[in-house]
Structure 1
């Protein structure tokens, strides 16, 4: 074998190993990827029960119901659609009605959402980018973000 052929064989073998490693990584992470959706997107596109997603929007006023200290249910809305969320755990200190929230979990077959993680905004000026974009698409966003109005 010539020197050029040895070099090409080495490059080909390295490429095959790299391709195999990337394939294994993507296969291992396929169940770890979660996509962000708003309630309107879920109503429009539909989500299979058991599929892991992030649901974001605003906590609807007067929708928070506590069964005990660890179990709570509330409604997430983006002004167009609403989804009832059930969560077992301690809510963030900044969680409250009318504020932005991102929940992570799975859709149930009855159309409700079982959350295992709840993230609330960290100060009066912050809202997750995905939630803000979804609210802008629905027409419920003010640039000053002093208040978000839901019709």
Structure 2
């Protein structure tokens, strides 16, 4: 075997090893990716959500929070559509009706979102970018009006 042929074999084996490593990393990352969707995207079935872990974000609908023992039922809206959510666990202290929320979990076949985690807006100036973009797109975004001081 010549020196050039041996070098060619090493290069081919190196490229094959790098390609295999990249494929393994990408397949592992694909399983951990969690996509964000608004209630409108879920209700209008624009996304394949069945059996996948996703994030649902919007505003907690006024008058929709019902505590049932250890679980809590509420509805998340973007102003255009509503998705019912069931969560078993402790809610964040700042969770309340009319506030921005991001839930992570799976959408059931009955259309009820089974949340495994609930994240609430942490102060009056913050809303997750995905939720704000979704509300702006639906036309329900309300900017705080700046008050001129005399």
TM-score of Structure 1 vs Structure 2, range by shorter chain: 0.7 to 0.9
Match of 2:3 in 1: 2
Query: 2:135 & 2:10 partners in 1: Cα distance?
Result: 53
Is contact 2:76-2:82 (8 Å) kept? Answer: yes
Question: Considering only CA atoms, is the larger Rg found in Structure 1 or Structure 2?
Answer: 2
Is contact 1:39-1:82 (8 Å) kept? Answer: yes
Query: 1:74 & 1:124 partners in 2: Cα distance?
Result: 21
1:95-126 Cα deviation digits (max 9, x unpaired)? 11101000000011111100000011111100
Query: 1:24 & 1:145 partners in 2: Cα distance?
Result: 50
Query: 1:57 & 1:145 partners in 2: Cα distance?
Result: 21
Is contact 2:49-2:106 (8 Å) kept? Answer: no
Query: Which runs of 5 or more structure 2 residues have no equivalent in the other structure?
Result: none
Q: Does 1:63 align with 2:60?
A: no
1:70-116 Cα deviation digits (max 9, x unpaired)? 31010000001000000000001111110100000001111110000
Query: 1:145 & 1:51 partners in 2: Cα distance?
Result: 39
Q: Does 1:42 align with 2:57?
A: no
Deviation at 1:143, TM superposition (A): 3.5
How high is the TM-score relative to the length of structure 2? 0.87
Computed over aligned residues only, the root mean square deviation of the Cα atoms, in angstroms, reads 1.8
- 1:21 match: secondary structure: helix
Match of 2:73 in 1: 73
- 2:9 match: secondary structure: helix
User: What is the number of equivalent residue pairs in this alignment?
Assistant: 144
